[in-house]
Structure 1
Amino acid sequence: MILKELSCTYSSNADGQARTIRYRNNTSTYNEISIAKFYTMGSKGAMTWLDKLEEQLNVDVDWMDPEYIKSMPIVPHDQTSNQLWVDIQLGDASNRDMFLETAKELKNEGWLAIYTRMAVLMCKKNINSIRGRVLLQTLPSNAFKTQETLDHARLYDREFARAGIGRDRYCIKIPSTGPALNAAKILSSEGIPTLGTALFSLPQAIACSQAGMLYISPYYNGKFAHEVRAHDEPDTLWPNVEDPATQHPMSARIVQIIETYKRLYKETGKEQPLVKNASFISAKEAMAAGEMGCHSATISHTVLDQLAKLEYDGTKQPGEGTPKPVHVYKNAGPCPERLKKLANVDPLAAAEWDGKLASTDIDYLANGGAELTKAIETDPISTTRLADALKLFIGGEERSKAKVEEVLKQI
């Protein structure tokens, strides 16, 4: 590897020791890796799938464990989470004292105040181990309630400010429903950064653009399929294909979302949400996100480990992405030739689909999001997968509420 520039980047830990190397090779963008990884690269000269993917998009970690994040061979951009990951960390022994202290301080303010502060404080543990933002999600049980979603996001905003984390270092995940995205539109006007999550369709993506959101996270796989796979049960719901970029049924929708955002940026000059692809089951799927032109990919620790172990050989890849641009829409390249066929097809569409893509002229947020609700209801995949995702996250929310209530009994 020929390096054009090399510098040490210091973390803000008390020891003041350099933890990362920042370098530039044959692209105009910088990469950042751990010092241990840098020396490994120097001795072996081998590039991993993870290294290659980081050249093509921003790699994020979809996990909250501080020790895991510190051990990663690259420094992730963002740290994402959901109610499941927050619940796991709430039950971790390393957070026990902080949990008790927070519960004592907020015992008269209800379980949600304690939960929200704990979620922010647990993210704070990772803020110096990442380059970008920490992300937390509003309550999924309120996914169809505008005011409640707005209230919880504002509570997060206050807690992040209390923790010394500015709006440039966090983002609030909002379920991509009509009512919740109406809350997101208000939050955007207040300068609170948001991400549209539980997103499965182009109408949802257009609605997120209309809400002025910073990010969207299309789920490459449905959450139920992900859970089935994770528990080693029959994975009939998971399309385990050799070439996900062209063969996975969700790829067409991802490509259409990206191309729509490119067009909207060109036509209006307005910033569009950055596509942070999520819910990967295999390393191959994560690599497909790079080829499709996603801005970033938030990846579970299990898939990150797979990517870090695989040596990259471009001659054995079905396709390959390009180095990430400085501005994902202003400097956007064309859709890869072999993916252009996906622009007008939809393997996930209902049988009666007329072949027309969702129109950007429709106001999906008007009347409480009525048009978006209708679009979701007429798309069986979006209906099913949204319900599955919310059910899964509500389960995590309820377990966390029980943990908070149990701690309150002990003080």
Structure 2
Amino acid sequence: MTASKLDQLRTMTTVVADTGDIEAVRRLKPVDCTTNPTLILKAVENPAYASLVDEAIAWGKKAGAGDHDTVHAVCDRLAVTFGAELTKIVPGRVSTEVDADLSFDTQATIGKARTLIAAYKERGIEKDRILVKIASTWEGIQAAKVLQAEGIDCNLTLLFSLPQAVACAEANAFLISPFVGRILDWHVKAGGGPYTPETDPGVVSVRTIYAYYKTHGIKTVVMGASFRNTGEIEALAGCDRLTIGPSLLDELAGSTGDLPRKLKPESAGEAPAKLTLDEKAFRFAMNEDAMGTEKLAEGIRGFVKDLNALRKLVAARFV
């Protein structure tokens, strides 16, 4: 019997679940798990996890009266609570995101990352089980540089362009999450296509970054993210890691047929020349990339919106 495409993918790529749904992770058995404000909000709204929410609210009521700082602290506790539960299921890493509204504040991002790692430590979870997710702004990347030097591994997310990937590598980021589906969305909206998995601009972007890293001996892990269909995933088979939502993981698990490896470190393909970017060069390169600039800003706004919705939900419980 032919192995499922998901099982075949596992032989060449570390499969990561892109969800805060604890039961979905238990069922799908990924190696790692990633979360973000949107996924945590969905999980908090799920009645199955009411007890986890109740615990965080009760903790918050002991700490304060529902003021700004207490609400933010409860939201941090919720993120860590879900992350802690996920560490009991996956053998690898769990990614927990720094507040998206800190994306342009290097020092605040560093402080929040340290707070999250300390909160995990209080629960007996060491930092080698956690990746701190940070948006790939210039400020976020510089925060990651400091955190990596302290031994706190970072997942640089909302990454849409090679300049972002180059800057992350120069910061010694442990891992980057180049987005695929959102790049496709932008090009389709701009009138591009139709695209096949091989010509999908999101797939092409990740392949370019992968080739750049492997050709130039960069150790930062490439983890493709934000998929719209299984064709994109299959076109990136062999990438270091792929973080995939439960519905697409189920689709791959139910699909058979040969899944050829498309990405290999030893034959990564043609890569751009080695680049070095200071802040001015980075900002100019981003300015020249309308898609990268627009999707980064849009992604931050989306995460902030859901983070604020989570804060509003928490604040309502103090009334």
User: TM-score, structure 2 length as denominator?
Assistant: 0.90
Moved more, 88-97 or 199-208: 88-97
1:245-303 deviation per Cα after TM superposition (whole angstroms, max 9, x unaligned): x21112332222112212332xxxxx52100100011111111111xx41010001111
Match for residue 394 of structure 1? 304
Residue in structure 1 matched with residue 6 of structure 2 by the alignment = 50
Aligned length: 312
> 1:91 is matched with which residue: 22, 26, 45?
45
Q: Any stretches of 5+ residues in structure 1 without a counterpart?
A: 1-44, 227-233, 266-270, 325-331, 345-356
Residues 307-326 of structure 1: pairs in structure 2 closer than 5 A = 307-311=252-256, 313-314=257-258, 320-321=260-261
Contact 1:81 1:137 in 2 (8 A): yes
* CA positional deviation for 1:157: 1.0
Q: Which amino acid aligns with 1:113?
A: A
Whether 2:295 is the aligned partner of 1:385: answer yes
Q: Cα distance, 1:200 vs. partner?
A: 0.8
Query: Which amino acid is 1:272 matched to?
Result: K
Counterpart for residue 334 of structure 1: 267
Residue 130 of structure 1 deviates from its aligned partner by: 0.9
Of 266, 274, 277, the residue aligned with 2:221 is: 274
Q: d(CA) in 1 for partners of 2:215 and 2:230?
A: 30
8 Å CA contact 2:221–2:240 kept in 1: the answer is: yes
From 295, 306, 315, the counterpart of 2:240: 295
Distance in 2, Cα, partners of 1:296 & 1:305: 17
Q: Does 1:107 align with 2:64?
A: yes
Contact 2:183 2:202 in 1 (8 A): no
Q: State how far apart, in whole Å, the 1-side matches of 2:185 and 2:92 are.
A: 29
Q: Does residue 36 of structure 2 align to residue 82 of structure 1? A: yes
**CA spacing shift, 1:84–1:260, aligned 2, 3 Å:** same
Q: Which secondary structure state, in structure 2, belongs to the residue aligned with residue 196 of structure 1?
A: strand
Question: 1 or 2 for the larger relative contact order (CA 8 Å, sep ≥6)?
Answer: 2
Instruction: Look up the match of 1:36.
Output: none
1:131 to 80, 83, 91: 91
Instruction: Please give the secondary structure, in 1, of the residue aligned with 2:181.
Output: coil
Seen in structure 2, the aligned counterparts of structure 1 residues 210 and 155 have a Cα distance that, compared at 3 Å, is same
User: Which residue of structure 1 aligns with residue 233 of structure 2?
Assistant: 286
Q: How many angstroms apart in 2 are the aligned matches of 1:153 and 1:240? A: 41
Q: Distance in 2 between matches of 1:303 and 1:69?
A: 13
Counterparts in 2 of 1:191-202, with a 5 A limit? 191-202=151-162
Note closer, same or farther for the CA distance 1:207–1:301 as it changes in structure 2 (3 Å cut): same
Q: State the distance in 2 between where 1:207 and 1:168 align.
A: 23
1:322: how far off? 6.9
Give the one of 201, 204, 209 matched to 1:249.
201
Shift of 1:238: 8.8
Alpha-carbon spacing, 1:67–1:207, altered in 2? closer, same or farther (3 Å):
same
Which secondary structure state, in structure 2, belongs to the residue aligned with residue 276 of structure 1?
A: strand
- Find out whether 1:403 has 2:299 as its counterpart: no
C-alpha separation between the residues in 2 aligned to 1:238 and 1:115?
A: 40
**Which region of structure 1 is more displaced relative to structure 2, 118-127 or 84-93?**
84-93
Structure 1 residue identity aligned to 2:221: L
| Equivalent position of 1:15 in the other structure | none
User: For 1:307 and 1:295, how far apart are their aligned partners in 2?
Assistant: 18
- Alpha-carbon separation, structure 2, partners of 1:224 and 1:253: 10
In structure 2, the residue matched to 1:42 is none
2:227 and 2:233 in contact (8 A); partners too: yes
Distance in 2 of aligned mates of 1:299 and 1:111: 30
Alpha-carbon distance change, 250 to 323 in structure 1, aligned in 2, over 3 angstroms: closer
- Offset at 1:235? 7.9
What do the CA deviations read for 1:168-190 (whole angstroms, capped 9, x no partner)?
11100111111111111000111
Residue 310 of structure 1: SS of its match in structure 2? Answer: coil
Equivalence map 1:110-121=2 (5 Å): 110-121=70-81
Asked if structure 2 preserves the Cα contact closer than 8 Å seen for 1:278 and 1:297, the reply is yes
Q: Deviations 1:301-344 (Å, cap 9, x if unpaired)? A: 11111111111x22xx6xx20798xxxxxxx3213xxxx4xx47
Distance across 2 between alignment mates of 1:380 and 1:126: 36
Report the CA distance between 1:100 and its aligned residue. Answer: 2.2
